[in-house]
Structure 1
Amino acid sequence: MALQDAEFEASSSHYQYKIRFSQAWKESVSMSGGHFFSCYISQECAAKGPRPRYPRVWRTKKKIGTISKSLKLVECIKGLSNVKEEVYGALDSFIAWELEFPLITVKKALKNLENEKEWKRIIQVTKWMLSKGQGRTMGTYYALLNALAEDGRLDEAEELWQTLFSENLESMPRMFFERMISIYYQREMHEKMFEIFADMEELGIRPTMSIVTMVGDVFKKLDMLDKYEKLKKKYPPPKWEYRYIKGKRVKIRTKYHDQIDTNSKVKTSATEANSESWVHENTDVSIDGCVEVIICICLKRLTHPKQIDKCLCIP
């Protein structure tokens, strides 16, 4: 019994020593600021996987509340005059308390102004945004080009086009060519229109059907029918086109091909009517019944007057 009591006291004293050591270790860690404990936790996190990274504050992409802000921006601009300093001052005061430049808000405001056809305000806001070094994308430049053209400032639109075309010679989007050709087409500036179309062919950019129709109409007006035929042969209208509807690629029949089908039907009906009138003019009324049957058969099968003449064998 004495031996068992001695062993129990020794084990209990050893256990008490362990408890005291652990408590002292925790107190020392807490006094040192917990650096060792934090390092130990970081090692455990690294063993399990990468630590979670929080998004940077200066690269936020919050879209909540941007619609109301864009409407406020539009209302703030509408009541102002066209003086540059006044408009720029109002825009600067609008974003004065923003940590970042509200690019999404300004883009939505520009879209609202475009729907309302406020072209002067679009030019002012876009130039202010570009002066801040923000939103320098091809979409912004296209909106500015469109606004300048709609506002009647053709010189500035041409200057912007020349700078963009010289900087992005091989990567110029096709919609810019289409917009400039439509601008010149509306103003009947045919030479500049042909220059842009020639630049497209040199760069190997296939024109859209709207460009082909505009250039073809100009060829017809100028009585350049040989060039018109070459253009139609080189760029025939496609039968199908692809559109994205709710994220899915859908195959749709083009309107240009339907127009060509209707035009061909109208032409065939017109030729048939002309052939019938020609037969009634060049044949006598006193013809035998067998000849009348031959005329009906020829009208059904033949369309050209010379073929009908051979069939009838009229002296």
Structure 2
Amino acid sequence: MGKVTSVPHVERSNDRSGRSLPNSNAIEKKVNKKAGKREHHLWMKRDSAGSGQKALNLVRIVSELPNDKETIYGALDKWTAWETEFPLISAAKALQILRKRNQWLRLIIVAKWLLSKGQGLTMGTYDTLLLAFDMDQRVDEAESLWNRILLMHTRSVSKRLFSRMISLYDHHHMPDKIIEVFADMEELGVKPDEDTVRRVEHAFQKLGEEDKQKLVLKKYRSKWKYIHFKGERVRVRTDAWDG
């Protein structure tokens, strides 16, 4: 004999025509179950909105303080004092707000505080901090951070960070340093984007190494590029257009 599968019993009642109707208690349970899911979803939305408000509060706190590391660190410690979990999302949002407002000094202090707590050790945080060092003319500190990144994340350093560091050295007219970073990039097999290729090419040109400049262009320059011709975006071969 085949196996009999048990079916949960649902109480039913009959209407006037004799048709069987499910018990109202069963329907009520289904409705309550759906309502529970919806309530959880709304809770998640409220939590997300709360992190944004905390971020704005953090920005307000550090913006009103003097340019003193210890003072700001103390205020940041108070900001997290009553949190059961470290408010990392709020802190990350605060960094982005400070970045948009070009408040580089405050951004540097908050980011350093985050790292000192063992929090925010991500490529995004590193990228933001390197940019802030660049904008605040702190090349030495950028180099120190970069060396730490290479030491800790040798095989996982992103193209974005390599590009950021090369951009920083280009901004401060340091072609020899550009070549050093590019050498690490090649050794780790990270393919440069077009902006990075252009900066490396110019660095070799400034150093008088035209042969290496040509090799970089031959290896990495895109064969195609887009131009606007008679109001349309047209793809053309790079070498044909340059010729």
Q: What TM-score comes out, normalization by structure 2 length? A: 0.71
Deviation at 1:258, TM superposition (A): 5.6
The answer to which of 147-156 and 92-101 deviates more is: 92-101
Counterpart in the other structure of 2:6: none
Amino acid at match of 2:238: I
Counterpart in the other structure of 1:118: 103
Give, in whole Å, the separation in 2 of the partners of 1:109 and 1:65: 13
Q: Is the 8 A contact 2:61 2:75 kept in 1?
A: yes
**Aligned partner (choices 72, 78, 93) of residue 78 of structure 2:** 93
Inter-CA distance 219–137: structure 2 relative to 1 (3 Å threshold):
closer
The answer to which of 157-166 and 192-201 deviates more is: 192-201
Counterpart in the other structure of 2:215: 230
Deviation at 1:68, TM superposition (A): 2.0
Deviation at 1:261, TM superposition (A): 7.6
Counterpart in the other structure of 2:238: 260
C-alpha RMSD of the superposition: 3.1
The answer to which of 164-173 and 221-230 deviates more is: 221-230
Amino acid at match of 1:123: I
Q: Is the 8 A contact 2:223 2:239 kept in 1?
A: no
Deviation at 1:259, TM superposition (A): 8.9
Counterpart in the other structure of 1:81: 66
Amino acid at match of 1:144: L
Q: Count residues with an aligned counterpart.
A: 197
Amino acid at match of 1:80: L
Give, in whole Å, the separation in 2 of the partners of 1:127 and 1:238: 42
Counterpart in the other structure of 1:307: none
SS at match of 2:83: coil
Correspondence 1:159 to 2:144: yes
Deviation at 1:221, TM superposition (A): 3.8
Deviation at 1:69, TM superposition (A): 2.0
Counterpart in the other structure of 1:62: 47
Cα deviation, 1:136-166, whole Å, max 9, x if unaligned, reads: 2222122222212211111111011111112
Greater relative contact order structure (CA < 8 Å, 6+ sep): 2
Counterpart in the other structure of 1:194: 179
Provide structure 2 residue ranges, at least 5 long, that are not aligned to the other structure. Answer: 1-39, 41-45, 227-232
SS at match of 1:62: helix
Provide structure 1 residue ranges, at least 5 long, that are not aligned to the other structure. Answer: 1-54, 56-60, 242-253, 268-315
Give, in whole Å, the separation in 1 of the partners of 2:51 and 2:78: 17
Inter-CA distance 197–102: structure 2 relative to 1 (3 Å threshold):
same
Give, in whole Å, the separation in 2 of the partners of 1:93 and 1:258: 58
Counterpart in the other structure of 2:195: 210
Overall identity of the aligned pairs, in %: 44
Cα deviation, 1:227-254, whole Å, max 9, x if unaligned, reads: 332222111315489xxxxxxxxxxxx9
Q: What TM-score comes out, normalization by structure 1 length? A: 0.56
Amino acid at match of 2:75: A
SS at match of 2:154: coil
Q: Is the 8 A contact 2:133 2:142 kept in 1?
A: yes
Correspondence 1:135 to 2:113: no
